Amino acid sequence: MSKKALRERPLTIPEAKKLLESIGEDKLDQFQRRSLDYTSKFSKVEPEKAEELVKILSEKHGLEVEEAISIVNIMPESIEEIRVFFAGGRKIVETSKLQEILNLLNTYRKKE
C-alpha cells in the first residue's frame, strides 16, 4: 500500500523535528530515526517560533519563503553571515535591513 501526500510545503528543521516526534520514536523507520537525530542536533529555535519567524521574514521583510526557511535553519549570528543568503546578485539588501533581520533573529535565538 503506497501512501499519497495530501499536500507539500517546505519545513524548517525545528518543524521537521516536531513532526517526527509526533509520530513517536518507536514507530519511526531507520531513515526517520536518523532524521530525528539530525533535527534534534541542529534545531536552533523552538518549532512554533520557527514558523512564526519564517512568517515575519517573508511577510514583513519581503523574503521568499525558501530564503526565510534557510535563514531560520542556520540562524546566522552576523550581518556578514546573513549577506551570504543574498549572494549571487539576485537581491541587493541594505545593511540596515540586514541589521533588522539580525536583531529579529537574536530575539528568537535559543538561550543555551
Query: What pTM did the predictor assign?
Result: 0.86
Reported as a single tens digit per residue, the pLDDT across 50-69 is 999 999 999 999 899 999 99
Domain of residue 89, residue span: 47-108
53 lies in the same domain as 103: yes
Q: Are 98 and 79 in contact (CB under 8 A)?
A: yes
The Cα 69–Cα 74 span in angstroms is 9
Q: Which pLDDT score, from 0 to 100, does residue 111 have?
A: 64
In a domain, 4, yes or no: no
CATH of residue 77: 1.10.150
78 lies in the same domain as 104: yes
51 lies in the same domain as 103: yes
24 lies in the same domain as 60: no
